[in-house]
Amino acid sequence: MAQGRLKRGHSQKLFERAQRALVGGVNSPVRAFQAVGGFPMFMERGKGAVLWDADGNSYVDFCLSWGPLILGHAHPRVLQKAVEALRKGSSFGTCHEREVLLAEEIARSIPSMQQVRLVSSGTEAAMGALRLARGYTRRSKILKFIGGYHGSVDSLLVQAGSGAMTLGRSDSAGVPEQWAQGTLSAPYNDAEAVHRIFKERGDQIAAVIVEPVAANMGVVVPQKGFLETLRQITQEYGALLIFDEVVTGFRFCAGGVQSLFGIQPDLTCLGKIVGGGFPLAAFGGRREIMGHLAPEGPVYQAGTLSGNPVAAAAGLETLRLLKTQKSYGRLSSLTESLCRELGRIAESCEVPVRINRTASMWTLFFAEDPVTDYSSAQRSDVQRYAAFFRKMLEEGIYLPPSQFEACFLSVRHGTREIEKTLEAARFAFSSLRRAPTRRREEIKPVGV
């Protein structure tokens, strides 16, 4: 089926220029294509489910800016609201009505978020939530899960997923050892390990922070009873439970993963979709906890662009459209169908894969055994994923440039995009069947 070699001349020249002006030629490490080979994509525009690069090549996009664009690229209503807001001013540095409306919409959708603080990134949301948890409980330690990524917060770059996992680094330089010592780690989906840690150090733990559905070691779903254990044990020991729903918030339904499992965390972090494709995030929780934030309480947090009026307008319109369009069922069904067919094609080509899916997010692991945590994700054949990624890219399908990231669908993905993707997959899997592969070399967990 091969459509021929991609035109990449202009993109290559841009990358050469970028390397002189930007560190590594990129502004975020996972964009560097180190895990899949070649040089980064330079995109020029997007519309619906399609991206066009600087050389005019088009791609069905399953990355969607790493998740925010559930309505697709350049949704006309979202753009209209953003432009209307921009015409009135790009930033005020003051209070304004749209930030109030957005906070009210979030609180209506996610009942556990009785009060909200708007910020500019998921990293900032996680950082603020953790500082608040420490200030509220007057304890110093945080429990996270191996392979869980909560932004580039110093104390959380310990056994992290996402870009740190992709690059195979054990930790980040520049993080003082004493800061890292404030972070405890347990395997995701291992309730017994959580019990052991709390038995030993429960009176020191301020909070447990978790992606309720992991998305930064690839998609990994919680096993039965795991999240319920976290809720029970944090309440027993007086620690807070923080759900990092930066990826999953408004991806599955309006109420987030917590509404599907019927679990109310003490604090929730949101990002990506809540900003409608603009730099905006939030954290929030029970009123009594949020009341410890400045200016009401002693825990300081601030940001010049927090609640930016343009971003707030885009985010508010995105949430309103998701509520009125009622697209979640179709998105989930379409994603299930796509993953089922990809599995069948891989099986027919005798290529072992495991596809983890929940709602409209999924990861295709080149692995023979189930992927349930960081350790099992690491057993994936990353060389084979890199080869698959490059073949799909040649056929006009843009997947995340890392085995350990999530793919997403938007409401603009339809039958045509799915058929094109499956046709490309037949070609890609067929080529892998003939190609020799190597097992992934052992990568030490981050922090070891």
Q: What residues are labeled active site?
A: 149, 244, 272
37 three-class SS: coil
| Helix or strand run (H / E) with residue 230 | helix 226-237
Cα distance between residue 280 and residue 290, in whole Å: 19
Cβ contacts of 178 within 8 Å, gap of 6 or more? none
Cα distance between residue 274 and residue 283, in whole Å: 11
Could you tell me how many helices (H) and strands (E) the chain has, helices first? 15, 14
Strands 354-358 and 43-47: unpaired
What are 357's strand-pairing partners?
Answer: 362
| Helix or strand run (H / E) with residue 73 | none
Contact 239, 206 (CB under 8 A): yes
Name the residue among 335, 386, 380, 323 with its Cα closest to residue 361. 335
| Cβ neighbours, 10 Å, residue 266 | 24
